[in-house]
Structure 1
Amino acid sequence: MTTFSQLGLNKAYIKALKELNIINPTDIQEAVIPILLESRTDLIGLAQTGTGKTAAFGLPILNLIDTNMSEVQGLIIAPTRELVQQIKKQLFKFTKYVNHKIFVEGVYGGEKMDRQIKALNRTTHIVVATPGRLLDLVERGAVDISNVKTLVLDEADEMLSMGFKEDLSKILKYNTSKRNTWLFSATMPDEIKRIIKTYMSVDAIRIEVNKNALVNENISHHFINTSIKDKSNIIIRLLDKRQEERGVIFCRTKAGTKTLAKQLQDEGFAVGALEGDMQQKERDKVMRAFKNENLQVLVSTDVSARGIDVNNLAFVLHHQLPEHLEYYTHRSGRTARAGKTGQSIALIIPGEMQKISDTQKALGITFREMAM
C-alpha cells in the first residue's frame, strides 16, 4: 500500500489526513498528487464522483499557495452550491496543522451577494465557486482572478449538462497565459473535448483511473419488472424490507418527485424531497435532516441530486431510468462511496428492456433481475 508521505506530501497535511481517517491514497490521489506537487502542468483527470478527487487536487493547490501574497491564487469551480461548500470544508480541514494561514472562500448562488463580497474583501488565497455566481462577482469587480495560477474544474461534465457552458467560457478566457488548468470529469462528451482544446495546453497530462469501470465496481445493478400503476406499491414494499437502510429514489420530473415523496410520507416513511423549485433554505434543511439520519430516504430529480454526498447509502432506486446514460452513472454513484458496497435498482415497465441492454453495453455493467 502506498502512503501519502511516499507521494511527497508535507507532514502537516499527512497529520490532518490521519485525523480525518484518510490513511492510504485512492487511485486518483496516487496518480495525480505526485505530478501536481512536482510540476506546473495542465491536467485532465477522468474519474467518478466518490473517488477522492477533492484531496487529489485540493492538497496540491494548497501546496502551491504563497501566503506572503494576499491575492487569489487558486480557483476551484464546481457545479453546485453543496459541492462548493463540501470542497471548502475539506480544504479547511486539510490545513489544520499548516503553520501559515491559507484563506479559502466559497461563493455560490442562493446567498446574499453583499455578504460574499464582504468576505472576499479580506485576504483570500483560494476561491471555490459555482460558475454563475463567480462570473457575477468577477464582472462587478468584487473578485480579481487575473493572478490565478491554478484553475480547477471539478465535475466539468456536470457543469455543462447544467447549462454553464457560456459562463465557463467567459471565466476560462481570463489570464490564460499565467495559469495551469486541472480538469476533472466523469465522462468526456464533445463539449469537454472542446474546452480542453481551446483552453488547455496540448501537453496536458491525462490520467484515467480504473478506465473500464465507468461505474464504481462496488455497485450491483438490478431491475424489477412492473407497471406504471404498480411502481408506488413496489417502492413501499422495498422500503418496508429495508427499514435499517438509507437511500435515494430518482424521479425524472419535479412533479413526480413531489407526488412520490407525499405518497411515501403518507405511508409513514421518513422521506424528504429535493427538486428544482425549492428555496435554497428548504434544500439545505432537507439535506441536513438526511445527513443527520432523521430522514431515511430522499426522493430527488437528477439536477437536485448533485450535492448529495453522504456515505453509507445502501441503495439507489430509479423510479424511471434517466434520459441520459451519464445520469445513470451519476445517480448510481451516490451509493457505494468510500469503499462501501451498494445496490442500484431500476423499475422497468413493458417495452423498456432495450434500455437495460443499451445501458449494460455502454457502461460495461450487468443487470440482474430482482423478483419482488
Structure 2
Amino acid sequence: MKFSELGLKDSILSAITKMGYESPTPIQEKSIPYLLENDGDLIGLASTGTGKTASFGLPLLNQVDTQSKNTQGLVICPTRELCIQISNDLKAYSENIKGLSIVPVYGGTDIGRQIKQIERGAQIVVATPGRLIDLINRKKIKLWEVEAVVLDEADEMLNMGFKEDIDAILDQTPDFKNVWLFSATMPKEVARIAKNYMEDPFEITVGGKNETNKNIEHHYYTVKERDRFQALKSVIDFNPNIYGVIFCRTRRDTAAVADKLMAGGYNAEPIHGDLSQAQRDRVMDKFRSKTLQLLVATDVAARGIDVNDITHVIHYQLPEDVENYTHRSGRTARAGKKGTSIALINTKEGRKIKSIERIINTSFELKKVPTSDQICEKQLLSLIKGIKNDEADTSRIDTFLPVLMEELGEYSKEEIIKRFVATEFNKFLDYYENARDLNATARDNGRDDFGSKKRGRDSRNDPNQQRFFVGLGRKDGFNHGALLRLLCDNTGISKANIGKIDILEKFSFFDADKNETERILESMKGVDFEGNRMSIEKTKGSNDKGDGKRSSSRRSGGRSRRNERSKSSNRRRSYRN
C-alpha cells in the first residue's frame, strides 16, 4: 500500500512525498484510514521507532480547519525533547498547508513567548504536561474547542508520575473530543486511563502488546558488580564502529560514566536533567550529526531521540521499571533498520532479564564479555579496513616517494606494515595485555562500580524514616506525581525509598529513608517547580504527619459523550497484526 491510497489531502501527500515517504508502516497503515474515516477513540500499540508520530499526526493535520484560530488538536507527550521532535515533524508534514499554526509548549524556556504564540492562534498545540498545566492555571490557553487529544508515549508519561496532570488537563477539554492514545506498552495504568477517558476505543496492536521491535537483537552480559564499567569498555571496544546510547538510572551515574569514558579517550558525552536546555541541545546536535559517538543518558533525558542510524543501545543498568526497557531499546532499529540492545547485569539480576523477556515476548541471548585477544583482533581489523576504505589523495606523496623508499629500503613489506600498525596500535595492545576475564562466575561483592556500599531496598513502612516538609501545596498545582518525579529525578534515589506522601492545600509532607536525609536536602536545594522554588526541611518530631490525605482527583472522564456522538460500532473492535 502507498500513502496515496490512504485518503490524505494532496497538500499533505506532496509534503511527505518530498520527505521520502512512500509506503506506510504497519501502525500507520492501520491507524490513518481509521482516523480519517471514523469519529471515535483509538488505542495504538506499537514498539518505539515504528512511525507512531505520522500515525496520529497526518490524520490530525488532515482534519484541521485553518479558518479558525482556536486550538483544535492537542498532543501531550512526556518530555521537551519529544515535544520539539513531534512539533518539527508536524510542521514538515504540513509545509503546504497555508494558515496553519503549530505551537510546542514545554518547560525550560520562556513561557511568555509561548503565550504570545498561542494568543496569535494555534490550531495544534504540542505540550508537556507540566507546562500545559501552568498555561491552564494562568488561563492562557483555551481548550474548549479541542476535537482530538493525542496521548503520545502514554505509558512513559504515567511512569514519570504525570497521571494527575493528565487527569487535570483532560478535565479542561470538551466531552465531545476524541482521544487517541499511542503507546509502546500497555501497563495497567494506561489501561485505566483508557477506561476513564475513552469510549469503545478501536484498538490497533502491531505485534503483541508490550513487544519490542523485531529488528532488535537482545543480548546480556553477566559480570560482577565491581566490573560493570570495565565490561562496558570491553563491549564498546569490541564494536569499534558503534554509534549508540548508554542508559543509566540516575543523573549521578550518567555523569560519572560519561566522565570516566571521556577520561579514557572515548568520544562520549552525557545528557541529563542537570544540563541546561542549551547544553542539551548542543549535545543532541553533535549526536545527530555523528560528531559524537556515544550518548550517555538517563531515561527521561533520552526521550525524543529520533535518530535512524543508532547501532547499539547499552543498558549500563537495567531500568527500575522493566516496561522502560522497550522505550530504551527502541532508540535503535528505527525506520526498518537493525540494531542491538545490550544489558549489563550482575549475578543477582538474572530474574529481571526473565521478567523483561516475558513482557516483550522476546528472548535474550547470553553473551560472554569478549577476551582481550578478541577485542584486539576486532580493533586491528577495523584499523586496516579504515585504511583500505580511506579515499585519501595519495598522488601528493609521489614527490616524496624516492626519499621514503630510500629510508625504508632495508625493510620488507611485512616489516613496514608491522611498524606502522604498531605505532597506531601498541597503546591499545598494552592496555589489554594483562586483562582478566570479566565474566561473572560467583556472587558479586556487594559494592557498586563507584566503590560505594550497596544497600538493600528498604520497605516503605520501615519505621526508620525521616519526615520532610515541602513549602508547596495544591494551590501551587503541586501533586503526588510531581513530588515523586522531582525527588527521583534530582536525588537519584529509588521510588521504593520514598514513603507516605501528603499533599495539603498550602504545603506538603513526605517520608523517606533516614539514610537519604542529607542527600535529599542537598540535591533539592533550589529545585524549581513551574516557577516556584521548592523549600524542603526536616520536620522536628513524629507528630508532623499532616492532616490531609494523598491527593486523588479521578473523574469519570467524559462518559457523557455516549449521547453526544454516534458510535461506529456497538462492540469492541480490534486490529491485530
Report the TM-score range of the alignment, normalised by the length of the smaller protein: over 0.9
> Match of 1:7?
6
For 2:148 and 2:261, locate their aligned partners in 1 and report how far apart those are by CA, in whole Å: 46
Between the aligned partners of 2:209 and 2:146, the Cα distance in structure 1 is: 34
Deviation at 1:212, TM superposition (A): 5.8
CA displacement, residues 192-238 of structure 1 (integer Å, 9 cap, x when unaligned): 2222122211x221111122671100000111122222222222222
Per the alignment, residue 241 of structure 1 pairs with 238
Q: Say if 1:157 and 1:187, in contact at 8 Å, map to a contact too.
A: yes
- Asked whether the equivalents of residues 231 and 347 of structure 1 are also in contact (C-alpha less than 8 Å), the reply is yes
Aligned residue in 2 for 1:251: 248
* TM-aligned CA deviation for residue 358 of structure 1: 2.5
- Aligned partner of 1:90 in structure 2 is 89
Please give the residue correspondences for 1:325-336 in structure 2 after superposition, counting only pairs within 5 Å.
325-336=322-333
The answer (yes or no) to whether the contact 2:323–2:359 under 8 Å persists in 1 is no
Q: Distance in 2 between matches of 1:161 and 1:356?
A: 20
Q: Distance in 1 between matches of 2:42 and 2:330?
A: 23
Shift of 1:362: 2.7
Q: 2:102 aligns with which of 98, 104, 114?
A: 104
* CA apart distance, 1:288: 1.4
2:239 and 2:189 mapped to 1: Cα distance? Answer: 40
Aligned residue number for residue 169 of structure 1: 167
Q: Following the alignment from structure 2 to structure 1, what is the Cα–Cα distance between the partners of residues 236 and 187?
A: 36
> How far off is 1:278 after superposition?
2.2
Unaligned runs of 5+ in 2: 371-577
Cα distance in 2 between the residues matched to 1:269 and 1:51: 31
TM-score (norm 1): 0.95
What residue identity is the alignment partner of 1:17? I
Output the CA distance in 2 between the equivalents of 1:5 and 1:109. Answer: 37
What's the CA shift string for 1:93-114, capped at 9, x where partnerless? 111233x321111100000111
Distance 2:189 2:222 in 1: 36
Larger radius of gyration between Structure 1 and Structure 2: 2
Distance 1:349 1:228 in 2: 5
Deviation at 1:11, TM superposition (A): 2.2
Q: Letter of the aligned partner of 2:53 in structure 1?
A: T
Separation in structure 1 between the aligned mates of residue 214 and residue 347 of structure 2, nearest angstrom = 28
Report Cα offsets for 1:94-145 as digits up to 9, x if no partner: 11233x3211111000001111111112121111100111111122121111
Show the 5 A alignment for 1:195-210. 195-201=193-199, 203-210=200-207
**Cα distance per residue 1:53-100 (max 9 Å; x no partner):** 1111111111111111111111111111111111111111111233x3
Amino acid at match of 2:294: V
* Residues 78, 128 of structure 1: 8 Å contact kept: yes
Structure 1 residues 259 and 239: CA distance shift in structure 2, 3 A: same
Q: Taking structure 1 as reference, are residues 246 and 170 closer, same or farther at Cα in structure 2, changes over 3 Å only? A: same
Of the structure 1 ranges 229-238 and 152-161, higher mean CA displacement relative to structure 2 is found in: 229-238
2:179 pairs, out of 164, 169, 181, with 181
Once residues 281 and 363 of structure 2 are traced to their aligned partners in structure 1, the CA distance between those partners, rounded to angstroms, is 35
> Aligned partners of 2:231, 2:356: CA distance in 1, in Å?
22
1:279 matched to 2:253? The reply is no
Q: Any idea what SS the aligned residue of 1:75 has?
A: strand
CA contact (8 A) 2:254 2:297 kept: yes
Contact 2:220 2:366 in 1 (8 A): yes
Compute the displacement of 1:7 (Å): 1.1
Q: Are the equivalent residues in 1 in contact too, given 2:143–2:174 (CA < 8 A)?
A: no
Question: Which of these residues, 315, 318, 321, is aligned with residue 318 of structure 2?
Answer: 321
In the alignment, what sits opposite 1:193?
191
Does the CA contact (< 8 Å) of 2:210 and 2:359 recur in 1? no
Q: Matches of residues 259-270 of structure 1 in structure 2 within 5 Å?
A: 259-270=256-267
- Equivalent position to 2:364, from 364, 367, 372: 367
Partner of 1:68: 67
Say whether the 8 Å CA contact 2:219–2:364 is kept in structure 1. Answer: yes
Q: For residue 350 of structure 2, what is the aligned residue in structure 1?
A: 353
**Secondary structure in structure 2 of the residue aligned to 1:294:** coil
Aligned to 2:19: 20
Q: Alignment partner for residue 157 of structure 1, among 151, 155, 174?
A: 155
Look up the SS of the partner of 2:303 in the other structure. Answer: helix
8 Å CA contact 2:211–2:359 kept in 1: the answer is no
CA distance in 1 between counterparts of 2:188 and 2:228 reads 36
**Structure 1 residues 356-365 or 164-173, which shifts more?**
356-365
**Match for 1:145 among 143, 148, 154?**
143
Between 1:104-113 and 1:292-301, the stretch displaced more is 292-301
CA contact (8 A) 1:147 1:178 kept: no
Bigger drift between 102-111 and 316-325 goes to 316-325
Q: Which residue of 2 aligns with 1:56?
A: 55
**What is aligned with 2:117?**
119
What's the secondary structure of 1:72's corresponding residue? coil
Unaligned runs of 5+ in 1: none
Q: Is the 8 A contact 2:251 2:298 kept in 1?
A: yes
Which residue of structure 1 aligns with residue 519 of structure 2? none
Query: Could you tell me how far apart the structure 2 residues matched to 1:351 and 1:362 are?
Result: 19
Aligned residues of 2:224 and 2:346 also touching (Cα < 8 A) = yes
The 1:212/1:179 distance shift into structure 2, 3 A limit, reads closer
Assess if the C-alpha contact under 8 Å between 2:27 and 2:55 holds in 1. Answer: yes
**CA contact 1:261–1:299 (8 Å) conserved in 2:** yes
1:239 Cα deviation from its structure 2 partner: 2.0
Partner of 1:307: 304
Q: Which residue of 1 aligns with 2:509?
A: none
Q: Distance in 2 between matches of 1:327 and 1:8?
A: 35
Query: Contact between 1:315 and 1:344, CA under 8 Å: does it hold in 2?
Result: yes
TM-score of the two chains, using structure 2 as the length reference: 0.62
Aligned to 1:37: 36
Q: Deviation at 1:308?
A: 1.8
Letter in 1 for 2:277: Q
Name 2:385's counterpart in structure 1: none
Identity of aligned residues (%): 48
1:275 is displaced (CA, Å) by: 1.9
- Aligned partner letter, 1:364: N
SS at match of 1:151: strand
Residue 108 of structure 2: SS of its match in structure 1?
A: coil
8 Å Cα contact 1:176-1:199 kept in structure 2: no
Shift of the alpha carbon at 1:357?
2.3
